[in-house]
Amino acid sequence: MPQRQSRDSCCWVIGKPQAFRTESGKAANSYTHRVEPYAAAWYLLHSTAGIGTASTLRLERNTMRRTFLTFLLLLSFSSSSHFQSQSRLSIRSASVSDSARSLPRSSPEKQGISSADILDFVETADKQIDTMNSFMLVRHGNVVAEGWWGPYDSSTPHILYSLSKSFTSTAVGLAVSEGKMSVDDQVLKFFPEDAPAEPSANLKAMRVRDLLRMATGHQSEAAIRADGAPWTKTFLAHPVPFKPGTHFLYNSPATYMLSAIVQKVTGMTVLDYLKPRLFEPLGIDTPTWVASPQGISAGAYGLSVRTEDIARFGQLYLQKGNWKGKQLIPSAWVEEATARQTSNGSSPNSDWDQGYGYQFWRSRHNTYRGDGAFGQYCMVIPELDAVVAITSGVRDMQSVMNLVWTKLLPAMKSDHLPEDRAARQKLEARLNGLVVKLPLGQPSSSMGAKISGKWFEFPKNERGIQAISFDFSSSMPVLLARTTTGLSKTPIGMGSWRKNPDDFTNGLGDFLSVPAHPLVAASGAWTADDTFNVKLVLYQTPFYSSLVFKFDGDRLVFDAEHNVAFGPTKLPQLVGQVGSTQ
């Protein structure tokens, strides 16, 4: 997973570009506004120094110096109040560099939605949803609201899980438009070397179209990651009891087969194939995609991009594949891929029963979406000309969509609304202050000094945790964990999030698609004299883990629970004893 890169921003001073570097680009825009008036005055002072005679030059210089100093003094007062009033309004747009910003920003009211209504959505989501990671609302092609719950941020890519499927579908559509394949091609045609000796009639009948619409004829998913064989071979060996096209089954291995087919016909992975055709035109920087042991992009999952990248992708589909005057995806493919190709239920109140397209879900209110496990969404709302991008870590994905339908949809009006600066400032302040809930408690305890530096050793366990120790000698404690993979030292923010690269993950690092060296943020608090709580957030992912350490003499009782997981979230209790580990 690529780490956050420094970016060069440009400040124009009297028509001349002066490059300066910031760590994340966040301060670049405000510095540009601040430097220009001073530079202008300095330029005027020195550019006139050669005008006039020597006798008048000294007078002019002294006069101009006094004028310049007076100008600076007045500017310091005006600019201070100006930047205080503007900082909350500009901080979100400043978080994405100008060179990468493909979506313009606008006030909500100008695009027919009130800041107060968006604020209501944000506050309700913050209160009711555990845990929101990010949110971006695009209306009429303009970003009108965007927020990240710290430690999540605008520049760090986020795992998409099955939202990746919609990107794989796009690759198929492009390959079809280039004449490299057809949706009516038989799947077996591409993999003669992996075909069973005697393929069934249903397997022979399976076509690319059936992979796209999750109607392969399978009764269950093929366990393609289980036996060590090539994933395509395992897929083709799996029984196909139903006639393809007649039975809906959500089927991630089918999407992998689409990725494998694209690689067969183009000679490139889906990731590489999409770079010049989709990612680069949209300004999606350094996307990454998990691959199979055979070097094929996983297709169904494993893509990581930023929140705005999700919004740009949704906006591209909303615009029928057109981006800044260029047709990146054929409009006919957009129509076909987002239409209902398979029926999958009949409940009018469920967004899972509205039909399925080509790796896109149909949703209520005549909308469609790509989505991924634990709440990764690209929601496209054609009738209201809007896109909603959300990343989260939730157990109930329907609850997030319900909030969009009940809070945001009714708020979108057909005409501009009067500007409401006070409401907008309140919204921006709320968006700028979003944070994943911190552990509640005290910053210190008398127990800290007693157990600081002691190592508590654990019996052998499935998580590979051998021993735990704490350093409470400073205001920022450190969690030391010795595991089967080595020693980690994780600084812990008290009342804040402390970001750390590649630290203790309490098993989250082994989850599907999580980068090999995940970024971790930690926060802690004492909930009792003998109990210290730590929360670990892997902020490239939907996951966090809550750790509870209870000290009892020479014993340490260690309980933990993940917010979401593909299996159990509650972890077995570990009990350690003070040992001699150094």
Residue 502: the pLDDT is: 78
In Å, how far from its chain's centre is CA 378? 11
What does R_g of the chain's alpha carbons equal in angstroms? 28
Question: Which token pair is 109?
Answer: 């009211």
Residue 580: the pLDDT is: 63
Q: What is the mean pLDDT of residues 143-167?
A: 98
Which segment of 30-34, 73-77, 568-572 scores lowest on mean pLDDT?
30-34
Residue pointed to by tokens 């309490």: 506
Q: Is the pLDDT of residue 378 over 90?
A: yes
Are 525 and 535 in contact, with CB atoms under 8 Å apart?
no
Global confidence as pTM: 0.83
How long, in residues, is the chain?
A: 582
What is the pLDDT confidence band of residue 25, given thresholds at 50, 70 and 90?
very low
Q: State pLDDT tens for residues 255-287.
A: 999 999 999 999 999 999 999 999 999 999 999
> Whose CA is closest to 477, among 518, 515, 439, 514?
439
Residue 197, number of CB atoms within 10 A of its CB: 4
Question: Which token pair is 473?
Answer: 């000698």
Widest distance between CA atoms in the chain: 104
What is the pLDDT confidence band of residue 211, given thresholds at 50, 70 and 90?
very high
Q: What is the mean pLDDT of residues 187-214?
A: 98
DSSP-assigned letter for residue 329: S
Residue 417: the pLDDT is: 98
Q: Is the pLDDT of residue 582 over 60?
A: no
Residue 493, number of CB atoms within 10 A of its CB: 21
DSSP-assigned letter for residue 116: H
Rounded alpha-carbon distances, angstroms, from residue 319 to 135, 305, 312, 357, 363: 21, 20, 10, 18, 18
Q: State pLDDT tens for residues 544-577.
A: 999 999 999 999 999 999 999 999 999 999 999 9
Residue pointed to by tokens 């301060």: 27
Angle (CA) 134-539-10 rounded to 5° is 70
Q: Is the pLDDT of residue 422 over 90?
A: yes
Residue 193: the pLDDT is: 96
- Measure the CA–CA gap between 342 and 212, rounded to whole angstroms: 10
What is the pLDDT confidence band of residue 99, given thresholds at 50, 70 and 90?
very low
Query: Pairing mode, if any, of strands 519-528 and 493-494?
Result: parallel
> Whose CA is closest to 192, among 264, 270, 299?
264
CATH homologous superfamily, domain 446-578: Calycin beta-barrel core domain (2.40.128.20)
Q: What is the mean pLDDT of residues 84-111?
A: 59
Residue 70: the pLDDT is: 43
Q: State pLDDT tens for residues 486-519.
A: 999 999 999 999 998 878 999 999 999 999 999 9
Q: Which residues contact 180 (CB under 8 A, 6 or more apart)?
A: 265, 266
Q: Which residues contact 281 (CB under 8 A, 6 or more apart)?
A: 323, 324, 326, 328
Residue 497: the pLDDT is: 98
Name residue 87's amino acid.
Answer: S
Which regions of 128-223 does DSSP assign to beta strands (E)? 132-139, 142-148, 158-159
Q: Which residues contact 355 (CB under 8 A, 6 or more apart)?
A: 340, 341, 342, 343, 344, 361, 362
Does the domain spanning 160-305 belong to CATH 3.40.710.10? yes
Sign of CA dihedral 387, 378, 350, 256: positive
Summary mean pLDDT of the chain: 86
> Whose CA is closest to 424, among 108, 134, 123?
108
Q: Is the pLDDT of residue 17 over 70?
A: no
Are 323 and 309 in contact, with CB atoms under 8 Å apart?
no
Q: Is the pLDDT of residue 73 over 60?
A: no
DSSP-assigned letter for residue 4: P
Domain boundaries, the chain: 7-100, 160-305, 446-578
Name residue 358's amino acid.
Answer: Y
Q: Is the pLDDT of residue 42 over 50?
A: no
- Measure the CA–CA gap between 435 and 75, rounded to whole angstroms: 34
Which segment of 99-108, 317-326, 366-375, 394-403 scores lowest on mean pLDDT?
99-108
3-class DSSP state of 160? coil
Q: Is the pLDDT of residue 337 over 60?
A: yes
DSSP string across 435-490: BPPPPPSBS--HHHHHHTT-EEE----TT-EEEEEEE-SSSS-EEEEEETTEEEEE
Name residue 493's amino acid.
Answer: G
- Measure the CA–CA gap between 499 and 482, rounded to whole angstroms: 20
Q: Which long-range contacts (CB under 8 A, 24 or more apart) does 364-369 make?
A: 364/405, 365/405, 365/409, 368/338
Residue 381: the pLDDT is: 98
Same fold, 160-305 and 446-578: no
Residue 475: the pLDDT is: 87
Residue 510, number of CB atoms within 10 A of its CB: 9
Q: Is the pLDDT of residue 34 over 70?
A: no
